[in-house]
Amino acid sequence: MAAEKKFIFESLQDIKSICSFLDAITNGMKTGKVMLSSADECIEMHPSGLLHMSIKAKKKGGNNKIGFKIQWKESSSQEQNITLSVGK
């Protein structure tokens, strides 16, 4: 089993910067390669197949929050080439 690798980035950004970041993630999802890096941290992911998505939004007083979560399992090339045969 592979070791866990995490990438965490937090900062204050303007709306235009956040939209550019979300566009980059969208483009990476379309091409099957999402790479996130900052300073000495880097993580590369390859989304494919069916993905689980959840969106949470919260509004309390003057505070607002939107959370996106996308999950998938990487499958090995061996798993992708499995075929089913049914015989009598």
Judge whether residue 81 has pLDDT over 70.
Answer: no
Alpha-carbon dihedral 72, 5, 27, 23, rounded to 10 degrees: 110
> Over the stretch 12-70, which tens digit does the pLDDT of each residue have?
999 999 999 999 999 999 999 999 999 888 999 999 999 999 999 999 999 999 999 99
**Block residue for tokens 């075929």:** 83
**pLDDT score, position 88:** 72
d(CA 73, CA 46): 10
